[in-house]
Amino acid sequence: MKRLGVQREIIAIILGLTFLRLVAARWIHLTEDEAYYRLWAQQLHFGYYDHPPMIAWWIRGGVTLAGDNPLGVRLLPVIATGLVSALIGDLAHRLGARPATVLRSVVWYNATITIGIGGILATPDAPATFFWVLTLWCLVRTTGPRPARWWAAAGLAVGLATISKYSALFLAPGAFLWLWLSPDGKARLKTPWPWIAALLAGAVFATNVAWNAQHGWLTFAKQFGRVEPSGFSPTHLGELLVSQFLLLNPVIAIYAFRGLQLGWRNRNNAGDTDLRLPLATTLPFAAYLMLHSLHDRVQGHWPAPIFAALVICAAVAAERGSAPPALRAVRNLAIAFSLCLSAAALAYMAAPHSRALGTFDPILPLRGWREFSVAVDQKGRQESAGWIGVVSYGTLAQLSAEGLVTAPLLQITERTRYLGLPPPRPDFRQPGLVVDLARRLEPRDLLRCFSHVASAGDLDRGAREPGPAARYRAYLVSGPKVDVMRVGCPDDPAMRRKLWR
């Protein structure tokens, strides 16, 4: 297979998938987290409560170009998914892969469930994955002409990755492990270029460090607090391995494991596809995730940045040896099934008012927000409420994204989430309507914050036959006992647990 023909196929695949993702991004409702990050984009900073700032910057750019709608929020993440596919193809080529293997790398990356479905989402994983893969692409080019230029670019890419998501901090040890495994790596460490790259990465990351220093180390406390062991629970390790085996695609996962073994065994063989870079940059983060899983759950999307390296290893492993026709057929069917499954899932998510599954609908959290926002606004008017309160950031973010609630909106708990964002202007001299999922709201919790609490009925969202996942409760409250705007309701551990249910 000629390289020029492969390049044309890759370009066609990327353009086609990007177009389909843009269509899906336009018609699929925002998730709670995406709507929450959209709030960040209203006021740009070098840091926020939950994460570094890059996703807010990307959303702001997309909204500026395409409007304040789901497509605008997701525009840059979708484009980045296409660019990552292109970088994977060129990276595989520069590592010595054959043209057919280069094409397989690109197709297999998009056939993973995480990318096939999650490639449209505006979450910190989108910029983190893009800059992670961009770093690998720059690093592989440091072995060719003008290494100083590519070391500088790699340093900037690492820095941008770290202000996308802190998991990118594992890129630095991965890069040094790659140099240690390379025959001339120790000699290159004696040149100034890797160290200049490290300084550039540190300078970019320092912007977020400075923001945290000015705000009581807010993001560091939230994110790095997860590192502290909270007991031994090896069952989470099993969950991690099984979930990633499925999300990567079982066929790709098996070949990826073989590819990692192959890369280690052949690390000193000059004639083979050089897998030392994907191997070395994967190991530190993968080791951390497995260590973390011994005491806490690893979310399914966390490993997304290393999927690019894994599919390259998988594609190289698949080219070694001659697979029997039956095995090749099974392999091709598995990849086709993943692509079709992702397309079907996106189509179902985009289908308007598809409620056939009722409360069993896996995407019920995306359903019915427009109608629900209208109902909340009407309920507030009926109760003569001067402001609308919620107890979870997701509910606030979704109501805010719809823009149909005319009264001031605020989350009455976790006020630190909104540090630096445009504040609402509620008049606490007037009664307020507090609305959230019924399982999250109880009068005794609200009485910790307000002198008067009265039931205002129930509201339902998104299901033909509402159940616990879609039933909301409303309370009319007045007489705040605390500074709700500045401090929020008392931080009751029981209420904090309810927010995550």
Of 392, 55, 50, 394, which is closest to residue 222 (Cα–Cα)?
50
**With the CA atoms of 317, 318, 324 and 328 taken in that order, what torsion angle do they form, in degrees rounded to the nearest 10?**
150
The DSSP secondary structure of 175-220, one letter per residue, reads: HHHHHHHSTTHHHHHTSSHHHHHHHHHHHHHHHHHHHHHHTTTHHH
User: CB burial class (10 A; 0-12, 13-18, 19+) of residue 426?
Assistant: buried
The pLDDT tens digits for 157-210 are 999 999 999 999 999 999 999 999 998 888 999 999 999 999 999 999 999 999
Alpha-carbon torsion 211, 214, 220, 221, what sign?
Answer: negative
The pLDDT tens digits for 360-392 are 677 888 888 999 999 999 999 999 999 999 999
- Residue 55 pLDDT: 99
Separation of alpha carbons 445 and 494, rounded Å:
9
Q: Which residues contact 174 (CB under 8 A, 6 or more apart)?
A: 280, 281, 282, 283, 284, 285
Residue 463, number of CB atoms within 10 A of its CB:
19
Query: Residues 186, 142: contact at Cβ < 8 Å?
Result: no
DSSP bridge pairs for 388: 409, 433
User: Helix (H, G, I), strand (E, B), or coil: what is residue 430?
Assistant: coil
Asked if residue 473 has pLDDT above 50, the reply is: yes
Q: Which residues contact 498 (CB under 8 A, 6 or more apart)?
A: 391, 439, 440, 445
Average pLDDT, the chain: 91
Asked if residue 276 has pLDDT above 90, the reply is: yes
3-state SS track over 278-316: HHHHHHHHHHHHHHHCCCCCCCCCCCHHHHHHHHHHHHH
- Residue 295 pLDDT: 87
User: Helix (H, G, I), strand (E, B), or coil: what is residue 440?
Assistant: helix
The pLDDT tens digits for 56-111 are 999 999 999 999 999 999 999 999 999 999 999 999 999 999 999 999 999 999 99
Q: Which residues contact 239 (CB under 8 A, 6 or more apart)?
A: 293, 297, 298
Asked if residue 494 has pLDDT above 50, the reply is: no
Q: What is the CA radius of gyration of the chain?
A: 25
Query: Residues 99, 6: contact at Cβ < 8 Å?
Result: yes
The pLDDT tens digits for 327-345 are 788 888 999 999 999 999 9
If residue 472 lies in a helix (H) or strand (E), which one and from where to where?
strand 471-480
Amino acid letter, residue 138: C
- Residue 272 pLDDT: 73
- Residue 357 pLDDT: 60
Separation of alpha carbons 387 and 380, rounded Å:
8
Quickly state the pLDDT bin for 226 (edges 50, 70, 90).
confident
